Chains A and B, each alone.
Chain A
Amino acid sequence: MKRFIGFIQKEFYHILRDRRSLFILFGMPIAQVLLFGFAITNEINNVDIAILDHSKDATTKEIIAKIAASEYFSIKQIIPNEAAIEPAFKKGHIKAVLNFEKDFSKKLITENKATLQILTDATDPNTANTISNYTSSILKNYQQDLNKAAQTSYKIEPKVRLAFNPELKSVFMFVPGVMTVILMLVSAMMTSISITREKELGTMEILLVSPLKPFQVIIGKVVPYILLAVVNAVVIILLSLFVFKMPVEGSLFLLGAESILFIINALSLGILISTLARTQQTAMMVSLMGLMLPVILLSGFIFPISSMPLPLQIISNIIPAKWFIIIIKGIMLKGVGLDFIWKETLILIGMTLFFIAISIKKYKIRLE
């Protein structure tokens, strides 16, 4: 244990004395969270929605048909009652629910006014915004047709309600993404660089000649980065809580546990890279091109996966970050528990074990 503490202390000397890594470790997270605090817009099509129809009359059927006919939406589900709305959202399949009030037709004729509630999942604020705009305009269209035919002024009132992110802040969408990128960067890139640096300088040989076992050397190199990544996760969460007033709806404990799982996943990737790369430059390029770009572009961090071409959608499945973003969005914005994200959690655990297994195999080959 004493040897181990000495090893970690030495690792911290390396990190603290290298301005470049210090900047990557502590400057980047803050800069990125602040930068991405501002929105980026994107488009939608074929969004999955659900219908909750309390009246089931001619008018609502016509409106539903009109919506179904549009290229923006596809109706995935018919919901029986209010209680079923939340579970439908939490499953994550649908992005909006159209809730027609009771006696829609009757009210429209007798009172000249009926209400349609548009509920959207605003964990993805841009999509939510677009959905409510598009729905409202379809309704307006229908209303105009109706008025022309009847010569009276019927009014359908769309009431938009945003679930999960009522203030529609896009920063709420970016914080999970930035956290994912930072944890990936710190864990995978920094560890792979720090391990290959020892190889490059020849000090790895000295460590292997010492009585330390190879796995002790690797764990000793990795532990400081687990600590730093945890510090970073905490900093990002604190920033989002106090600077952007972002809520954490779900359990903080679960959020912490899932973050540590993702950190370990990224670290095992870093170790894998370092067993393959001979130099720091290679390790850095592989980390940047092979990890950072997919994490930023294909994980659903900036561009919704549902709007990607099919091949990219398939590729996105092998990116651990995609699953982690689903998990933390679920915990932070929807407040879901493990019962809703167990599948994603299992996928992350599986990937981690896979990376560790390959690393061990590669590492052994190198020592033969």
Chain B
Amino acid sequence: MNTKNAIQVENLTKTFGAFTAVNNISFHVGKGEVFGFLGANGAGKTTAMKMLIGILKPSSGNALVANFDIATQADSVKKSIGYMSQRFSLYNDLTIKENITFFGGIYGLNKADIKTKTHALIDDLGLHDEANKLVGALPLGWKQKVAFSVSLLHDPQIIFLDEPTGGVDPITRRQFWEMIYREADKGKTIFVTTHYMDEAEYCNRVSIMVEGKIEALDTPKNLKTTYNADSMDQVFLKLARNLA
């Protein structure tokens, strides 16, 4: 397989009994790329992502994430990736500092590192006054920013974001994407799922999953040309309708 890519997926399939959630998908994500992984609810996005982050075993096919095989080297995969879930990733009854200490700890960071990173993170986000407050008391947008920063603590090469901006206001979404770009500029690979089609336009390339298969994969610009659409929203609708 091509080892230049951050993620290399070949014929990946996941079945649950008679139901095929992910049907023979193949794609790759280059290093430093912002890759949008789109699809309607139930299209198989989350199942595919769970296989890539090493918590679900594929039924067949294989995939390399950071050059580690997801089926046989899940432990190494886990060390090389950051993950932030659509559901909230931090503990509400812990303060920001305690969350950072905890997650830093389980990724094996030492005390000195955790201290430096905590300061840096709080400086970056301008959260000096809130550092010792319970996370549950923060507005959602801030929580998501903190959660994103926490998923970067162990300096992963690839960051998986599962609908990171769900329920967040447009301004905060914009700021969130600025954070994503900053990380991409540092050479990190971003793999992001989203419901918001305007966000799809921010990605270098997007794939659109329909009923377990990847039906389209290209840059947003090329997709719009191919499907003769003004926006990604239209591309998505056309794809979904054609297949319905």
Give A271 to B91 CA distance when docked, in angstroms. Answer: 21
Question: Which residues from chain B contact A368 at a C-beta distance below 8 Å?
Answer: 56-57
Q: Is B7 an interface residue (CB 8 A)?
A: no
Q: Does B89 belong to the interface (CB within 8 Å)? A: yes
Q: Does B105 contact A (CB under 8 A)?
A: yes
Q: Enumerate B59-108 residues with CB–CB distance to A below 8 Å.
A: 75, 78-79, 81, 83, 85-94, 98, 101-103, 105-108
Give the dominant DSSP class at B's interface.
Answer: loop
* Cβ contact within 8 Å between B93 and A201: no
A residues less than 8 Å from B89 (CB atoms): 202-203, 206
Contact B55 A211 (CB under 8 A): no
Q: Is A353 an interface residue (CB 8 A)?
A: no
Question: What are the residues of chain A within 8 A of B56 when measuring CB–CB?
Answer: 367-368
Alpha-carbon distance between A18 and B134 when the two chains are bound, in angstroms:
13
Residues of B within 8 A of A3 (CB): 105-106, 108
Measured in the bound complex, the distance between the Cα atoms of B55 and A10 in whole Å is 23
How many residues of chain B have a CB within 8 Å of chain A?
A: 30
> CB distance B91 to A14 under 8 Å?
yes
Query: How does the 8 Å CB contact mask read for B102-143 relative to A, with 1 for contact and 0 for none?
Result: 110111101000000000000000000000001000000000
- The chain B residue sitting closest to A6, CB to CB, is B105
Closest beta carbon of chain A to B12's beta carbon, Å: 16
Q: Which residues of A contact B105 (CB under 8 A)?
A: 2-3, 6-7
Task: Count contacts on A: residues with CB < 8 A to the other chain.
Answer: 23
B54 sits at the interface (CB 8 A): yes
Q: Which B residue's beta carbon lies closest to that of A216?
A: B106
Contact in complex: B101, A202 (CB < 8 Å): no
Which listed residue (A9, A14, A211) contacts B79, Cβ 8 A? A211
CB pair B106 A201 closer than 8 Å: no
| 3 closest Cβ pairs, A-B complex | A202-B87, A6-B105, A209-B83
Q: List 9 A-B contacts (CB under 8 A).
A: A2-B110, A10-B102, A13-B98, A18-B93, A202-B86, A202-B87, A205-B87, A206-B85, A211-B79
Asked if A148 is at the interface of the complex by the 8 Å CB criterion, the answer is no
Measured between beta carbons, the chain A residues less than 8 angstroms from B110 are 2
- Nearest-CB residue, chain B, relative to A18: B93
User: Is B210 an interface residue, CB under 8 A from the partner?
Assistant: no
Report the minimal beta-carbon distance from B158 to chain A, rounded to whole angstroms: 12
Given A2-B105, A7-B106, A13–B94 Cβ distance below 8 Å?
A: yes
User: When A211-B79, A367-B55 are in contact, do A202 and B107 touch as well, CB less than 8 Å?
Assistant: no
A211 to B154, CA, bound (A): 11
Q: Evaluate contact between A202 and B85: CB separation under 8 angstroms.
A: yes
- Given contacts A17-B93, A206-B89, A209-B53, is CB(A10)–CB(B83) below 8 Å? no
Q: How far is the CA of A14 from the CA of B98 in the complex (A)?
A: 11
Whether the pair B85, A10 counts as a contact (CB closer than 8 A) is no
Neighbouring A residues of B53 by C-beta, 8 Å? 209
The verdict on A211 contacting B94 (CB below 8 Å), with A202-B87, A203-B89 known, is no
Contact A208 B55 (CB under 8 A): yes
Bound: A6/B104 CA distance, A: 9
Nearest CB of B to A200, in Å: 9
A110 interface residue, CB < 8 Å from B?
A: no
A10 touching B94, Cβ below 8 Å: yes
Chain B residues lying within 8 Å of A205, measured Cβ to Cβ, are 55, 85, 87
Given A3-B108, A10-B98, A14-B93: A211 and B78 within 8 A (CB)? yes
Name the contact of A6 in the complex, choosing from B79, B88, B92, B102 (C-beta under 8 A).
B102
Q: Are B78 and A209 in contact (CB under 8 A)?
A: yes
**Chain A positions within 8 Å of B108 at CB level:** 2-3, 211
Chain B proximity of A323: nearest CB distance (Å): 37
